[in-house]
Structures are given as structure tokens and as C-alpha cells.
Amino acid sequence: MAEQLRLMAVHAHPDDESSKGAATMAKYVAEGVQVLVVTCTGGERGSVLNPKLDRPDVWANIAEIRRAEMDSARAILGIDQAWLGFVDSGLPEGDPLPPLPEGCFALQDVAVAAAPLVKLMREFRPHVVTTYDEDGGYPHPDHIMCHKVSVAAFDAAGDPERFPELGAPWQPLKLYYDIGFSKAKILALHEGMLALGKESPYAEWLERWEDRPDKGPRITTRVECASYFPVRDDALRAHATQVDPDGFWFHVPMELQQQAWPTEDFELVRSVVDSPMPESDLFAGVRETAHVR
């Protein structure tokens, strides 16, 4: 019998899996792919971004609440999920920036922090791994560390001489970076809102774009998953402390999102299989090579 396809998505905090690549994961789950989200930290130092939940009782139990939110999002997406066990670093603010908290994820030695992820890769045996690019998607210390650890584990998991105590070697076949936003995507959504006679939440974002690089040219793979955008949003709302249901994320009508930009986008950065570019499937080249379904 053919082997089942397996996808591993490595994220920094609970809620990241629902804001980055969630519709892609839901699509693959519906197609019979086994999907495992690895969450590097517990999100213990995250902000409460929903004003309705900015209360002392919530802050007092934030670690437990964020785990419960992850449970809800996991069920909505239909995925499996594992905690890597590191402590959230928080997002430092100020000038100069304060030092990061002792013992936090971002201060770990990369080789040491990669070990539990190597173990998970060898146990789950993913064909494809997704994570963040070199600036973390945005420069949160945990996102940058997540990138470093994911790349290190991808390179080590298949090497029998590295971490021999962590199980039999397994080499994932492809590694992707999430490209959540490109200038073309933001412009398409912005112009779509204006065409509907609505105020665009992206106007200021576009004004500031000159100061930041456009990752659009890096995109190699566009996965059409518009029909799963509602699932993505339901999973995002499950992280109630992190998302204001009346806020920015939900200003653009679903129909416009599905029409203006029906894909989630990725950059292929490592591959040991051949697949023609551009791609529309994270498993392009894998299905044929690995004889999987």
C-alpha cells in the first residue's frame, strides 16, 4: 500500500499556526494528509490583544488559557500538535531594548534546542516541513529562533552521525518558508476594498512598504486553498486572547479574500526531489518519489 503523506509545520507560539498556513493545512487534512504542528513555546509572555479579555484573571492564568486555546484551534484544523517545551521570550520593547529573560527560547543554543525537534522529525517522519524565513516573518526573537532551529533540525534529522540517541535517521524531502504577505497580495486586497467602497485596513501598510523588502519575488509555491479560509479564521478566533474578533484581521470580507488572493504562498528553500517551478503543491515531486498517497 502507498504511504500516507505527512506535513510538519513548525511555529513559535500557539496562534501562529492559525495565522500562517492554516488554510493550506486544513486543505491537506481534508485530502488525507497527516499534519503535525510543532509549537516551540507556550506563549507565556504573549500580549492579550483582545480588549474583552484584558483582565487580571486572564493574565493570572495565561499559560493554561493559551494551551486551551491551542486545543480548540487544533480540533478546528483537524491537525495533530506537539509542544517543543521552551519558554516564550516575549517581544522586547524600548530604546535600548531590554535583555531577554534568562532561560527563554531565543537564548538557547541552536544545536541543543534543535534536538527535541530532530526527535520529533524522526518519530513523525514528515515528507515536507514548513517554518519561517530568516527574519522570522517578523523580527520576534522566538520567530527568528524557530527559523534557526527548524533549519538545523531539517539538516540533522537524516544524518545518522548526528543525535544517534534520538532514533533512526529520517530525511524530510522539502523545506519551505511561509511567505504570509507580499506587496502584490496587500495591494490586491487594498484595491478590492476600495472597489467595494469600503475603507481599507491596508492603506497605512502600503504607505510604509517603501521601508521594507518585498518577499513576493521569493515565492515559489502557491497553494490554492480559498475554500478553507473560513476554517483558518475559525481557528484564529479560537486563540481568543491573541485575536480581537472585531479587529484588523477580520475587516476584509471573506468573498473578497477568496477572489483577490485565493492562495497561501511559500518559498521552497531545500529539496531532495525534483519538481518544476512554479509549484501549486507542497508535495510536488514527493508523491512520485516517495510513492505516497
CA–CA separation, 290 vs 73, rounded Å? 30
How many other C-beta atoms can be found within 10 angstroms of the C-beta atom of residue 183?
16
**Helical H segments across the chain, by residue range:** 16-19, 22-30, 56-60, 62-77, 110-124, 141-157, 183-195, 203-207, 229-238, 254-260, 286-290
The C-alpha torsion from 143 through 88 and 174 to 233, rounded to 10°, is -80
CA–CA separation, 166 vs 182, rounded Å? 38
CA–CA separation, 23 vs 25, rounded Å? 5
Q: 143 a known binding residue? A: yes
Q: 11 a known binding residue? A: no
- Which residue, among 10, 22, 2, 24, has the nearest Cα to 282 in the 3D structure? 24
Beta bridge partners of residue 176, listed in sequence order? 130, 268
CA–CA separation, 72 vs 78, rounded Å? 10
- Given a contact cutoff of 8 angstroms between Cβ atoms, the answer to whether 225 and 27 are in contact is yes
Q: 140 a known binding residue? A: no
What is the full DSSP assignment across 279-292?
Answer: BS-TTTTHHHHHTB
Residues of each annotated binding site: 13, 16, 143
Residues of each annotated binding site for Zn(2+): 13, 16, 143
